[in-house]
């Protein structure tokens, strides 16, 4: 791992696997952290000492002094959220302003995207996706429809003003058509965006060039994914997904380097499973286990505060995520949440339409009726929070983790046993 210079960190379930903490730990050793997709829908919670930081738009690596942090072209950037987070960090004594940059090719996510996000969800009625309401879908729609506004476009004030006025018109006719009462006010929008123009232009860079040069100079780079593999617009549980490629294939694309520049891909997985928002979750706990594990794990969304849906570890999901991401190592998080449980189940396959399946289906209908086939392992019923080496873990916990490795066919490189920076095990490959 130490010789790996360009490492991708991806969520390998439905997001909230604890990427923020793993990025924070790995950032110890790198020069650059860059996000490659998503926007302020992400919620990365990082604990430093007794302090808790929740970041939505800025990469979690920022909490280390001297790391440079970038948003790649694949990100949809909410500039107001970005500067709000930057100012909040500064107010808490973290000097971040001179260490951040955003790709000139990144698309801006503006207030009207959030209005459209809410209006689309309202229109979907019972078929709601359960989005974070951060405007992500509409911002990517504009990008693909070739009508988005990019960071670099701000250089020409007259041009960006014209684009914003056209956008306001377009959005208002769409809102009217959708039966929404909300409207975008063009003058206010223009004033707002031009108000941050200088500050934004000052941090606009070519992230592909920056990362390429850094790698050439022997520096280390971490590419930070948001959300998880099962929320990928291509490989996830479509349509219950986010609007970007969360998987490792999106990493090079989303910062502007080629796949051959990447040395390894670390998949972050929780020792169990969670999902926030609508869509299938085969191993979802029934009540009261659902509420019990949610309490133990503090499973409430960092962005929306919504209770997360919880379930057993699903090896079908993670084996699939391992394949579509090309995972080279796993980081298992929140092992300590399972400390008090008597026994643990792992889904090793599904049964649906009278058939056994060992792979994750692309057919949502099949997935919705899939019944997991479980394997049961004994719990360890002792605290793992003080473990700092593999040998410190109780035998039953070691057996559980080894089984996850076997089933997913990916070696475990890290185990996280608590929220603090020091509660991490760097697994030596001898076991």
Among 6, 62, 119, 136, binds ligand IMP (CB under 6 A): 136
**Of residues 31 and 299, the one with the C-beta less far from ligand IMP:** 299
Q: Give the footprint of ligand IMP on residues 210-239 (CB under 6 A).
A: 226-227, 231
**Of residues 17 and 31, the one with the C-beta less far from ligand IMP:** 17
Give the 3-state secondary structure of residue 92.
coil
Per-position x/- string for 274-293, each x denoting binding to ligand IMP as judged by CB under 6 A, each - no binding:
--xx----------------
Beta carbon of residue 178, minimum distance to Mg ion (angstroms, whole number): 29
User: Catalytic: which of 4, 24, 31, 44?
Assistant: 44
**Of residues 116 and 407, the one with the C-beta less far from ligand IMP:** 116
325 binds, among ligand IMP, Mg ion, none (CB under 5 to 8 A by kind): none
Nearest to 340 by CA among 297, 380, 385: 380
Q: Give the footprint of ligand IMP on residues 138-157 (CB under 6 A).
A: none
The verdict on 315 binding ligand IMP (CB under 6 A) reads no
User: Near ligand IMP by CB under 6 A, which window of 133-141, 149-157, 189-197, 253-261?
Assistant: 133-141
User: Catalytic: which of 16, 24, 78, 336?
Assistant: 16
Query: Residue 211 and residue 228: Cα distance in Å, rounded?
Result: 23
List, as own/partner pairs, every contact residues 184-188 make where C-beta atoms lie below 8 angstroms and the sequence separation is at least 24, other chains included: 184/111, 184/112, 184/115
Burial class, 165, CB count within 10 angstroms (exposed 0-12 / middle 13-18 / buried 19+): middle
Among 118, 130, 180, 192, binds ligand IMP (CB under 6 A): 130
In the numeric block, the tokens 């006010």 are attached to: 185
Burial class, 202, CB count within 10 angstroms (exposed 0-12 / middle 13-18 / buried 19+): exposed
Query: Residue 364 and residue 370: Cα distance in Å, rounded?
Result: 10
Query: Residue 415 and residue 403: Cα distance in Å, rounded?
Result: 14
Q: Which two tokens stand for residue 398?
A: 């070691």
The verdict on 58 binding ligand IMP (CB under 6 A) reads no
Task: Give the chain's end-to-end CA distance (angstroms, integer).
Answer: 17
User: Near Mg ion by CB under 5 A, which window of 179-187, 245-253, 297-305, 321-329?
Assistant: 297-305
Catalytic residue list contains 16: yes
| Residue closest to ligand IMP, measured at CB | 277
Burial class, 234, CB count within 10 angstroms (exposed 0-12 / middle 13-18 / buried 19+): middle
Give the 3-state secondary structure of residue 72.
coil
Among 129, 281, 315, 331, binds ligand IMP (CB under 6 A): 129
134 binds, among ligand IMP, Mg ion, none (CB under 5 to 8 A by kind): ligand IMP
Query: Residue 263 and residue 326: Cα distance in Å, rounded?
Result: 11
In the numeric block, the tokens 């879908």 are attached to: 137
Among 38, 39, 43, 418, binds Mg ion (CB under 5 A): 43
**Of residues 208 and 279, the one with the C-beta less far from Mg ion:** 279
Q: Phi and psi of 116, rounded to 5°?
A: -65, -40
Beta carbon of residue 268, minimum distance to ligand IMP (angstroms, whole number): 12
- Count Cα neighbours of 20 within 13 Å in the Cβ-side half-sphere: 24
User: Near Mg ion by CB under 5 A, which window of 107-115, 234-242, 302-310, 329-337?
Assistant: 302-310
Please, what's the b/e burial string for 57-87 (b: 16 or more CB within 10 A of its CB; e: otherwise)?
bbbbbbbbeebbbbbbbbbbbbbbbbbebbe
Beta carbon of residue 367, minimum distance to ligand IMP (angstroms, whole number): 15
Query: Residue 322 and residue 138: Cα distance in Å, rounded?
Result: 29
Among 13, 132, 333, 408, binds ligand IMP (CB under 6 A): 132
Beta carbon of residue 239, minimum distance to ligand IMP (angstroms, whole number): 9
Max Cα–Cα distance, the chain, nearest Å: 66
User: Near ligand IMP by CB under 6 A, which window of 45-53, 127-135, 283-291, 421-429?
Assistant: 127-135
The verdict on 24 binding Mg ion (CB under 5 A) reads no
Query: Residue 30 and residue 412: Cα distance in Å, rounded?
Result: 21
226 binds, among ligand IMP, Mg ion, none (CB under 5 to 8 A by kind): ligand IMP
Where does this chain bind ligand IMP (CB under 6 A)? 15-16, 41-43, 129-132, 134, 136-137, 226-227, 231, 240, 242-243, 276-277
Q: Which residues are designated catalytic? A: 16, 44
């Amino acid at each position: 791992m130490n010789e790996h210079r360009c490492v991708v960190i991806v969520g390998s379930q439905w997001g909230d696997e604890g990427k923020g903490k793993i990025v924070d730990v790995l950032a110890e050793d790198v020069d650059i952290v860059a996000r490659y997709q998503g926007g302020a829908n992400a919620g990365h919670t990082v604990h430093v000492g007794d302090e808790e930081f929740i970041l939505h738009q800025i990469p979690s690596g920022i909490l280390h002094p001297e790391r440079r942090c970038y948003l790649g072209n694949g990100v949809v950037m909410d500039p107001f959220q970005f500067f709000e987070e930057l100012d909040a960090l500064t107010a808490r004594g973290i000097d971040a302003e001179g260490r951040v940059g955003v790709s000139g090719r990144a698309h801006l996510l503006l207030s009207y995207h959030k209005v459209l996000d809410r209006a689309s969800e309202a229109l979907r009625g019972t078929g709601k996706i359960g989005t974070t309401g951060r405007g992500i879908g509409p911002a990517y729609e504009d990008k693909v429809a070739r009508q988005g506004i990019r960071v670099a476009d701000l250089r020409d004030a007259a041009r960006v003003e014209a684009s914003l006025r056209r956008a306001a018109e377009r959005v208002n006719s769409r809102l009217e058509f959708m039966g929404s009462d909300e409207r975008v006010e063009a003058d206010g929008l223009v004033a707002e965006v031009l108000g941050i123009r200088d500050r934004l232009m000052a941090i606009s860079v070519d992230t592909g060039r920056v990362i390429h040069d850094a790698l050439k100079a022997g520096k280390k780079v971490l590419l930070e994914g948001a959300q998880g593999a099962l929320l990928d617009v291509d490989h996830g549980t479509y349509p219950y997904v986010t609007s970007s490629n969360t998987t490792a294939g999106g990493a090079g694309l989303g910062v502007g380097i080629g796949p051959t520049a990447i040395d390894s891909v670390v998949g972050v997985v929780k020792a169990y499973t969670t999902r926030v928002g609508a869509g299938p979750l085969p191993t979802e706990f029934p009540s009261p286990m659902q509420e019990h594990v949610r309490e133990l794990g503090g499973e409430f969304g960092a962005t929306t505060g919504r209770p997360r849906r919880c379930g057993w570890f699903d090896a079908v999901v993670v084996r699939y995520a391992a394949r579509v991401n090309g995972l080279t190592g796993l980081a298992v998080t929140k092992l300590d949440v399972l400390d008090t449980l008597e026994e643990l189940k792992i889904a090793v396959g599904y049964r649906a339409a009278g058939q056994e399946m060992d792979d994750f289906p692309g057919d949502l209908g099949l997935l919705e009726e899939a019944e997991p086939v479980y394997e049961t392992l004994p719990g360890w019923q002792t605290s793992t929070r003080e473990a700092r080496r593999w040998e410190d873990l109780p035998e039953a916990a070691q057996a559980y983790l080894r089984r996850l490795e076997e089933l997913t066919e990916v070696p475990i490189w890290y185990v996280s046993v608590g929220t603090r920076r020091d509660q991490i095990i760097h697994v030596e490959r001898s076991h």
